[in-house]
Amino acid sequence: MVCVRLTRTGAKKQPHYRIVVADERFPRDGRFLENIGIFDPRKDPESVRVNDDRLQYWLSKGARPSRTVSQLLARRAKAAAAAKK
């Protein structure tokens, strides 16, 4: 099964994450099929950037987002809706 999940980068105690599409059998920081975005939890507010076209492509092909990625995307959508008001 293909999943959309986070892979950790950055130094010790300074996390930075990539949002990647990977086979769920691959290790967390191992191989991936495509890098589609970034997540930086150290910024205030948290920074989430995703290539929406590629995300929709992979979701249409049956990829499942991890729980964490689902929550990040929901927060991002909520913040975007609040900014439009």
Whole-prediction pTM: 0.88
pLDDT digits (tens, 9 = 90+) for 43-80: 988 889 999 999 999 999 999 999 999 999 999 999 88
Decide: 34 and 58 in contact? Cβ < 8 Å. Answer: yes
Q: What are phi and psi of 51, to 5 degrees?
A: -80, 100
Distance CA 76, CA 50 (A): 10
Q: What is the mean pLDDT of the chain?
A: 92
Instruction: Break the chain into its structural domains and give their ranges.
Output: 2-84
Domain 2-84 belongs to what topology? Answer: S16 Ribosomal Protein; Chain: A; (3.30.1320)
